[in-house]
Amino acid sequence: MKILLINGSPKGKRSNSLRLAESFIDGVRAKIEGNAEQVTVEKLDVASLNIRACLGCFSCWKKTPGVCCIKDDMQTVIQKMLEANMVVWSFPLYYFNVPGMLKNLIDRQLPMSLPFMSKTDSGYGSGGHDSRYDLSGVRHILISTCGFYSAEGNYDSVRNMFDHFIGKGRYETIFCGQGELFGVKELASRTDEYLATVRKAGSEYAVGTISDEVKADLKKLLYPRDVFEKMADASWGVSKTTGEKEPEDLIFTRQMAALYNKAAYDGKDRVLEMNYTDLGTTYQILLGKDGSKVFTDGSQTATTRINTPYEVWAAISRGEMEGAEALGKQLYTVTGDFSLMMSWDTFFGNAANDANGSNSSAGGAAGAGCAGSVEGAARAEKVSMNAMLIPWISFWVAVAIDTRIGSVIAMAACALVPLIMRNYRLIIWDKLSLAAVAVLSAVANFTGNGDLLTNIGYLVFGIFWLGSCFTREPLCAAYVKYSYGGEKALRNPLFMKANYILAACWGILYVLTAVWTFFLRKAGFGTALIVVNNIVPLVMGAFTVWFSKWYPAWKASGK
Ligand SMILES: Cc1cc2nc3c(=O)[nH]c(=O)nc-3n(C[C@H](O)[C@H](O)[C@H](O)COP(=O)(O)O)c2cc1C
């Protein structure tokens, strides 16, 4: 298959539209070459070709049929058009049409048409000319970005023109608004997602037509209109009120503010203060019900303050550095209300999702992440601490009530956990717990010594927690990491330290439980254990919830 890619952007290689066109061709290539056919791609950058405007002399029809009198690069273009099986027209929208230099190329195709009036109708009731060559097998796709928030309603002239010269329904289109965002690194997670859909479209088109599902995805806005328009306005670097040029860090802060997802508003106005320590500048972003607003005069009372070198924050936003990792290394500090950092992705990461209700993260900003709740983890990825706790709790409760019957119940619980938790992935601590509880229950049933075995259970449980502190993943982190970016969380020093401390605390608590249970039973205070052994884990649970919030905030403040 021969593909001719015509890049009609005056920006040449820096064209946004070209990025889409190249992704599309990647998709075609993947599909065709997967079927063991060769794909060759000829790329023509119109901006670097010498294609003069048509003189309107009709020499190519009268004097030298099929040959233009202007000797420039257009002869090569026509030759390549005649050889291609697929032509990809890549161009930006200029004044609701193609850029002038591409229009020149289109006009200069006149030698490819016959001069005679044709009855062929493009559906508009206008006249037309037949092609000099049989190009009926050539497929055409138009790929273009434009600057407004949506492509809708902007491409009428383009469609009309191509309907006339290629034929209505004889070409496919991918038109995308917010085109300039494809050049913004900070937004790569959203634009890459779009490019992946374009690639998919290419693969489908290579062997048929683009599916309705992919077409619907291609029509989705990159960001909601208000978010995009705020970002676009800020990107010019010129004050809307004074018309004066604005400093880079202020432009950056305005763009960050534009990404604020007002759907995350929880009834509380927040003021995020960005203090760029290397530049000595401070800006405040009011995050409210109706959106965000940037203040340069310090008039607001900050609720969260980020003290950071400008370059660090910019690198985080570009995805070159992880926000949480940088915070852990104290490359920046945070004071005030830390809950904003804990929910950074909710406040700044989901604007793209809101445009179309999709699930993926727009990313681009610095999520802090730290030790968090077990339930959160279970929702985020299919692992659950319940798979580990159910065997232990059923063992301790049931065997304490009746050793023989209780141990059978505990064994049944072990057998049922893989079934009850079948929608969850069992991790090493789940499997070890199942094995340990099954063995302890069997021994309890055999010996009838429930007291000793529940006590050994406390010790084993404590050893699991303590043992995990010597691995790369403390026990609780193995479950909650999925709420903090999965494996990425393991590179977050705050997350890891908090979880190591908590795992050690739980480990020590259960080893001590085994010790005091042993001595209290010996001393005849067995009933006191019912109170002590149930209250202490509750207190520890409350401590865990508090510590997992307090510790990251305390460390983030640079103390
Ligand atoms: C001269 C000029 C005219 C433009 N006219 C329009 C327009 O009519 N509608 C629109 O949505 N965007 C318009 N734009 C914005 C471009 O279409 C947009 O920036 C596009 O993403 C650039 O694509 P490229 O990087 O492939 O050249 C115009 C840009 C320029 C420079």
317 alpha carbon – ligand 1 mean position (Å): 26
Is the CB of 92 within 6 Å of ligand 1? yes
pLDDT of residue 351: 62
Is the CB of 9 within 6 Å of ligand 1? yes
pTM for this model (two decimals): 0.75
Tell me the CA distances in angstroms from 26 to 22, 33, 43, 142, 278, one per residue in order.
6, 10, 13, 16, 43
Give CA–CA dist 323/326, Å, rounded.
Answer: 5
pLDDT of residue 372: 32
Q: Tokens 């977050």, residue?
A: 492
99 alpha carbon – ligand 1 mean position (Å): 9
Spatial contact of 322 and 492, defined as CB atoms under 8 Å apart: yes
pLDDT of residue 367: 30
Is the CB of 144 within 6 Å of ligand 1? no
Nearest CA to ligand 1 atom 17: 146
Per residue in 63-109, pLDDT (tens digit) is: 999 999 999 999 999 999 999 999 999 999 999 999 999 999 999 99
Nearest CA to ligand 1 atom 3: 94
Give CA–CA dist 46/109, Å, rounded.
Answer: 14
Is the CB of 16 within 6 Å of ligand 1? yes
Contacts of 29 (CB under 8 A, 6+ apart): 39, 41, 202
Atom of ligand 1 nearest to the CA of 179: 21
* Beta bridge partner(s), residue 141: 88, 172
pLDDT of residue 361: 30
pLDDT of residue 352: 61
Atom of ligand 1 nearest to the CA of 183: 25
9 alpha carbon – ligand 1 mean position (Å): 9
CA 60 from chain centre, in angstroms, equals 53
Instruction: Write out the two tokens for 126.
Output: 């206008």
Spatial contact of 151 and 177, defined as CB atoms under 8 Å apart: yes
Atom of ligand 1 nearest to the CA of 17: 26
Is the CB of 96 within 6 Å of ligand 1? yes
3-state secondary structure of 193: helix
289 alpha carbon – ligand 1 mean position (Å): 33
pLDDT of residue 354: 55
pLDDT of residue 442: 97
* Helix (H), strand (E) counts: the chain: 21, 12
Q: What is the largest CA-CA distance in the chain?
A: 118
Per residue in 378-398, pLDDT (tens digit) is: 344 588 999 999 999 999 999
DSSP 387-407: HHHHHHHHHHHHHHH-HHHHH
Atom of ligand 1 nearest to the CA of 10: 27
Q: Is the dihedral of CA 297, 301, 306, 307 positive or negative?
A: positive
Which of these, 150, 341, 339, lies nearest to 229 by C-alpha position? 150
Instruction: Write out the two tokens for 343.
Output: 């929910």
Kindly give the parts of the chain with pLDDT less than 50: 357-380
